[in-house]
Structure 1
Amino acid sequence: MDINTMAKQMKLWFSLEERYMKNVEIQFLSIFLNDLKTKKFALGSFFVIHNGL
């Protein structure tokens, strides 16, 4: 295998890895935000119920 082929493969691998990392970050962020929304909602309903009693 010559240097050019290796360079092309490395470039492809890096771009794939970069794309994968970005996707992971986006997924993590959306999970984190969903978790935050859920907690806020749970707290909100707790206060509503608590004040209703």
Structure 2
Amino acid sequence: MNATQTKDRLYDQLAASLKNVSRAVGQTADLFEHLQTNLSAMRVLAGTHAAQ
């Protein structure tokens, strides 16, 4: 395998890794949105419970 082929293979691996990182960041953003919704619901529940 020559140097150009090795470099191309490494760039392909880098591209795949960046794609995986991008997907993971997107999933993390989605999870934070769910967390924000759940925390808001917990605030409402705590307020309702305290009012009882």
Normalising by structure 2, we get a TM-score of 0.68
**Helix, strand or coil: the match of 1:30?**
helix
Percent of matched pairs sharing the same residue: 12
- Root mean square deviation of aligned Cα: 2.0
Shift of 1:49: 4.6
The alignment covers a number of residue pairs equal to 51
Give unpaired runs (5+ residues) of structure 1. none
Normalising by structure 1, we get a TM-score of 0.67
Q: Runs of at least 4 residues of structure 1 off by over 4 A? A: none
The answer for the alignment partner of 1:40 in structure 2 is 39
The CA distance in 2 between the partners of 1:20 and 1:45, in whole Å, is: 38
Give unpaired runs (5+ residues) of structure 2. none
